[in-house]
Chains A and B, each alone.
Chain A
Amino acid sequence: MSVSPKRRTGVDILVLAGAAALGISIFNYFRTDNGIHGSAGALLVIISSFLMVISAAALALAAAMNPALRGALVVLILLDILGTGLAAYMLEENWLVGAMAVALMGWVVRLVSNRTPGDARVRGAI
């Protein structure tokens, strides 16, 4: 299967933003002067960021993924972005909020980008 460059770019942004979020979350969890270190909330965003990276990487790497599974994954990633963003907002972690904004941009880029003509297998995918 071939994927449009824009769509690939969107996925790449997702992976990078997720990786950045993971790094920020781990840093926040262990940094002791930020008011949230060691908290359940800080742990939660580590997990959600990790899942985002894994899911986005799967989108990028698993070219032959079942369309339904791909669609579900894309929806779950959106929920992950929104949930992590909300959690980051409530943790008052602006860098993490920023990373989620970038991730959302990547998700939107992937959504609106044109599919490669003739790629029937991605029909129906978001």
Chain B
Amino acid sequence: MYLPPQLKFKHIAFGCILLVFLFSPFHNFVTHIAVFFSQQHIINQETALSRIEELRKQNIALMLKVRQGQFLQQENARLKQALRLQEEKKCTLIATRVIMFDLSMWRRIAIVNCGKRQGLREGLIAIDARGFLVGKIIEVQNNYSRLMLIDDPDFSMPVFIGNDTVGMLTGGLDGAKIMYIDNTEHIKERDKIWCKISYVGFPVYIGEVKATYTNRNALFWDIEVNLLSENPLLYDIFIIK
């Protein structure tokens, strides 16, 4: 069996010195190669990082475009719905948008971008795309109008619950209520609330009964209303002309 001769320490040392002498002329060359590859690596890393950042920005921009597209799609659907409503009910709707709010938090009044020039006048009512009541016009200027929303404390309107029970809808910052309905009337939760407008030939729905309260001594029901209109501050509003 062949066994390699045992290497002595002096041989190992000699070999190492020989290696150092052999490669010492190439020392700078090896260093240059190492630096070149490390720079390449760093440059690549920086390029990759900047590319990632660029892609991230592109991603955000695309996501915004998608959201914008979705919003436009929804808006388009709502406008189509309003057009269908206009054709079904044979009425004229004017699309408006909230441009400003009343500065006081104690009022629920919005300013919309249509006025006398668009044919608006005081007392017209505003609905959302699905036909639910949003509020009524209380002041008209040439290019803008003030719209009182249902939950304004000064809002009031005669309404019907169910088929023929009549009451008075009043707004309020704590929520709309219906007053002056005799507590002998049979009112139950989720009954539809609607109103008849003199110049409109169809019932305009407002919401449904949320809760009813009464006590032994009271003459009338206290009725809380669940309003069904979309948030008028986010979507288009339609004034029935």
Q: Do A and B bind each other?
A: no
B residues at A contact (CB < 8 Å): none
A residues at B contact (CB < 8 Å): none
